[in-house]
Structure 1
Amino acid sequence: MKKSTFFRGVIAAVVIVMHGCAMVPPEAVVTGPLTAPPPVPISPEVVANGAIYQPGAYGNYPLFEDRRPRNVGDIVTIIIQERTNAAKNVSTSTNRNSNAGLEFGATPSILPGDLGARQNFGVEGSNQATGTGSSRADNLFTGTLTTTVVGVLPNGNLQLAGEKQIAINRGSEYLLFSGVIDPRSITGSNTVASTQVADARIEFRSKGVMDEVQTMGWLQRFFLNISPF
């Protein structure tokens, strides 16, 4: 095998490894199923009792039961109203001064003759420090998403999950959501605010040209990962 061919193969392998290391997909926030599994079809047993309503048949609700979601597969609309504001200011100032001195104005005759003005001394010191810092973050996320009940907890709370995908020309956007809600927080219009969802996970990402222009080049990202500076 020629050396040139060998070096070309080595360079190609290094480039492929660098490309694979650089293109690391973002970590997913919403995990788990995004919709309820379809129920196993059940053939309702026909009871010859002359009643129009037969319990157990899909789509039938008791006469005095509301339509509030409570079973796996029911849908709930989430009103996303996420807004966070955080600010922090820090200011520190310290100042310290110290003085020390010794002076012999007159020396008694009973003391040694070398103990006099030549032993006078004075020391002064000061220390001052000042520091300031500030930080601020504002986030706003609004929208709506209809989710599906994917589980019912023993205490009656509902586990929700859902997604929405929108494709426009050569780009696409998708919204993922999961969380746990109390059925009593669902309004009459079958909606619940995202601020009343426990363990809420909201993920909004895009694919396409708009996402690619925001991504650092793979070679630049590779050297950034190995750079010690």
Structure 2
Amino acid sequence: MARPCHHRRFTLSVTLASLLGAGMLSGCGNMIDRVAGIGNEPSMDPIENPQKDPNYQPVSLPMPSPSVDVRQPNSLWRQGSRAFFKDQRAAKIGDILTVVIEIDDEAKLDNKTDQTRDGSNSAGLDNLLGYETMLKDIFPDGIDAGNLVNSDSKSTTTGSGTVDRSEAIKLRVAAVVTQVLPNGNLVLQGSQQVRVNYELRQLTVGGVIRPEDISNVNEINYDKIAEARIAYGGKGTLSDVQQPRFGQQVYDIFFPF
């Protein structure tokens, strides 16, 4: 048995009211925090072990067969070492290396498509063993057997698109090795916070790297980081002004037109 329409409308109204109430409670909590922070600088996050973060998850990737470390007898050199006495590059959990981020991308694409198609079809039945004369008896107004079907079609499609994008980011951030995978690759995680007056800028970077890609000055370029996660943002007075008001965001979510 189908439910009445008023029951479905009531259920929908309750659902929307619940979502709106939850959004308002979240927004009220945010507003209370903002009011409490009036006149104060944005607080920086404490320095903590990334593995203690509730959202931290160890990386698990397909691993090749373990390789055998071949050492030459009576040799003073260690395999993979770039220094005579000690390799200064990051290799163990807790070691620090510098990530160099230099992004200078520019893309410009123009695309235009014009398509026109005309079609015309006609069919007749002048002779069919004499049965064509019976069509006049079937159709009261009569019919021309030589012009039974006649159709025309025409379609026109026009499309255009333009993409013009430019990005330029040059940053350097120190990251900490948080995990050593079975094949020797390193998992790194790093963050940097800079506060200028009432604006806090935060840079985070994470991913998987090969020890061979680390330079002899203990640096690595961002394009050699697998599964790279790079974020650059901030919070404070300027970031707050650039965001739409809470009511406007709720209005944009629920307004269907």
Query: TM-score range, shorter-chain basis?
Result: 0.5 to 0.7
Check 1:93–1:63 CA distance in 2 against 1; reply closer, same or farther (3 A cut). Answer: closer
Whose strand fraction is larger, Structure 1's or Structure 2's?
1
- Structure with the greater relative contact order (CA < 8 A, sep ≥ 6): 1 or 2? 1
Q: Report % sequence identity.
A: 26
Matches within 5 A, 1:134-145: 134-136=161-163, 138=165, 139-145=167-173
User: Which residue matches 1:20?
Assistant: 25
**More displaced stretch, 168-177 vs 140-149:** 140-149
Q: 2:159 and 2:222 mapped to 1: Cα distance?
A: 37
Q: 1:21 and 1:155 mapped to 2: Cα distance?
A: 44
**Structure 1 counterpart of 2:122, from 100, 116, 132:** 100
Matches within 5 A, 1:158-173: 158-173=186-201
Check 1:65–1:206 CA distance in 2 against 1; reply closer, same or farther (3 A cut). Answer: same
Q: Deviations over 1:90-147 (max 9, x none)?
A: 636241321426598xxxxxx89x8xxx836483512222132425263443211111
How big is the alpha-carbon RMSD for the aligned residues of Structure 1 and Structure 2?
A: 3.6
- 2:100 matched to 1:68? no
Matches within 5 A, 1:217-228: 217-228=245-256
Contact 1:79 1:193 in 2 (8 A): yes
Larger Rg: 1
* Unmatched 5+ stretches in structure 1: 1-14, 26-32, 38-61, 105-110
* Unmatched 5+ stretches in structure 2: 1-19, 31-47, 53-82, 127-132, 137-142
Normalising by structure 1, we get a TM-score of 0.63
Contact 1:97 1:127 in 2 (8 A): yes
Matches within 5 A, 1:80-99: 80-84=101-105, 87=109, 89=111, 91=113, 93-99=115-121
- 2:226 matched to 1:204? no
Structure 1 residue runs of 4 or more that deviate by more than 6 Å after TM superposition: none
Normalising by structure 2, we get a TM-score of 0.56
Check 1:64–1:36 CA distance in 2 against 1; reply closer, same or farther (3 A cut). Answer: farther
Q: Helix, strand or coil: the match of 2:242? A: coil
Check 1:16–1:102 CA distance in 2 against 1; reply closer, same or farther (3 A cut). Answer: closer
- 2:155 matched to 1:150? no
Number of residue pairs aligned between Structure 1 and Structure 2: 176
Q: 2:28 and 2:91 mapped to 1: Cα distance?
A: 42
Whose helix fraction is larger, Structure 1's or Structure 2's?
2
